[in-house]
């Protein structure tokens, strides 16, 4: 089995009818880089940058960030790398927060100052991170991703800061790519998903984060054991939001990917492809099995299957359909 999955590495991620599917890796710490190469990922679809800010007394300065991004981009060569700016707050490890970043406290941190909201409140943090990324952007194929967007104007505000930082760097004589790296939005709240058509006018690409999208849609924190059984990305509400956001992007021919846990489950590949998605980012270790699933599927079958799933109202029934389809195609 391992040898068979290993051989997959050199084979293309493409369906039986020849549709290419981009399979990328999520990266949490640079130590995972060798796993990415081993898995045959087509780049990094989600580089979480929280590691840079954790377990330290002070904030990493711009130069320290430059070195971290440089190492990752050099390891990835010309494979695309999507760098997400700091997503602090919520369930993330706030204890380890570096001095100088406001800790979201409040009665409900998940609904408070987290992700892009925090960065817009402390624009100096965002400016430094943008600057560090821009300074190494010429080394590879970079995209920048904004976490926890809920309002289109947040993306517009971030873009203003982004372009201001780029102008300042150019004046200073830094060699920036002629065309700035695309600036995208995470779609990981129900509000963002339902406003996806408006957010699409401000963003260059979407990354659908199914972990937070499921939590916020169903009002379930996975860490709360009493309600963990209700945490289900196959709930029709979550799937409809994903469908709405995906279609908003596809109408504008704007790139859209899924980068939550869902993307790494081979049994869910038919549904995701059937919804029109062609780009999935996951833990590197999931890539071989997901690729195997992609290579066993026909897009028209997937589309029919997705239509059937989207008619269902019961998450349990959807889970059964997913199992049945997986059993038939493997």
Looking up tokens 């980012």 gives 281
Distance CA 189, CA 210 (A): 9
259: partner contacted, choices ligand PEP, Mg ion, none (Cβ within 5-8 A by kind) = ligand PEP
Q: Does 140 bind ligand PEP (CB under 6 A)?
A: no
Among 204, 212, 232, 301, binds ligand PEP (CB under 6 A): 212
Tell me which residue has tokens 């997503």. Answer: 87
Pairing of strands 183-187, 44-48: unpaired
Q: Which residue lies nearer to ligand PEP by CB, 42 or 214? A: 214
Q: Candidates 212, 243, 305, 315: give the one binding Mg ion (CB under 5 A).
A: 212
126, 158 contact by CB (below 8 A): yes
Site size with ligand PEP, rule: CB under 6 A: 10
210 binding ligand PEP? (CB under 6 A):
yes
Comparing CB distances to Mg ion, the nearer of 188 and 204 is: 188
Q: Which is nearer to Mg ion, 268 or 299 (CB)?
A: 268
Q: What span, in angstroms and rounded, lies between the C-alpha atoms of 190 and 221? A: 15
Taking the C-alpha atoms of residue 213 and residue 98, their distance in angstroms, rounded to an integer, is: 27
Note whether 315 binds Mg ion by CB under 5 A. no
What six digits make up the tokens of 262? 């869902």
Tokens describing residue 265: 């489950």
Exposure b/e, 60-69, CB count within 10 A at least 16 = b: beeeebbebb
Backbone angles phi, psi at 30, to 5 degrees: -55, -25
- Interacting residues with Mg ion between 162 and 191 (CB under 5 A): 188
Residue 48 CB, nearest approach to ligand PEP (Å) = 5
User: What does 302 interact with, of Mg ion, ligand PEP, none (CB < 5 to 8 A by kind)?
Assistant: none
260 binds, among Mg ion, ligand PEP, none (CB under 5 to 8 A by kind): ligand PEP
Q: Which of 146, 77, 81, 83 is nearest to 118 (CA)?
A: 146
8 Å CB contact between 278 and 22: yes
C-beta neighbour count of 54 within 10 angstroms? 15
Residues 190-209 contacting Mg ion, CB under 5 A: 209
**188 forms part of the interface with ligand PEP (CB under 6 A):** yes
- CB under 6 A: which stretch of 53-61, 70-78, 162-170, 207-215 binds ligand PEP? 207-215
In the shown chain, the binding pattern of residues 40 to 59 toward ligand PEP, with x for contact by CB under 6 A and - for none, equals ------x-x-----------
Binding interface with ligand PEP (CB under 6 A): 46, 48, 87, 188, 209-212, 259-260
């Amino acid at each position: 089995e391992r040898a068979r999955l290993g051989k997959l590495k050199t084979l293309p991620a493409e369906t039986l009818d020849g549709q290419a599917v981009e399979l990328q890796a999520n990266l949490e710490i640079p130590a995972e880089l060798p796993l990415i190469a081993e898995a045959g990922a087509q780049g990094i679809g989600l580089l979480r940058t929280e590691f840079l800010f954790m377990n330290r007394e002070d904030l990493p300065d711009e130069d320290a960030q430059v070195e971290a991004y440089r190492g990752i981009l050099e390891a990835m060569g010309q494979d695309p790398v999507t760098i997400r700016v700091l997503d602090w707050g919520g369930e993330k490890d706030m204890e380890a927060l570096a001095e100088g970043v406001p800790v979201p406290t409040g009665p409900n941190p998940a609904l408070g100052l987290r992700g892009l909201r925090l960065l817009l409140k402390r624009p100096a943090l965002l400016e430094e991170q943008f600057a560090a990324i821009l300074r190494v952007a010429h080394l590879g194929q970079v995209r920048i991703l904004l976490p926890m967007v809920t309002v289109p104007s947040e993306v517009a505000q971030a873009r203003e800061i982004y372009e201001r930082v780029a102008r300042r760097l150019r004046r200073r004589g830094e060699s920036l790519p002629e065309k700035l790296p695309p600036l995208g939005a995470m779609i990981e709240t129900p509000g963002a998903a339902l406003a996806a058509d408006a957010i699409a006018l401000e963003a260059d690409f979407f990354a659908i984060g199914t972990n937070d999208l499921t939590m916020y849609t169903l009002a379930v924190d996975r860490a709360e054991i009493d309600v963990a059984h209700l945490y289900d990305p196959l709930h029709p509400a979550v799937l409809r939001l994903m469908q709405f956001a995906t279609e908003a992007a596809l109408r504008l021919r704007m790139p859209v990917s899924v980068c939550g846990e869902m993307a790494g489950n081979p049994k869910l590949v038919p549904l995701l492809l059937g919804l029109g998605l062609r780009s999935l980012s996951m833990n590197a270790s999931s890539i071989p099995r997901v690729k195997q699933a992609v290579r066993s599927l026909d897009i028209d079958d997937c589309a029919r299957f997705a239509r059937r799933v989207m008619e269902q109202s019961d998450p349990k029934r959807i889970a059964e359909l997913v199992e049945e389809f997986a059993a038939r195609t493997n």
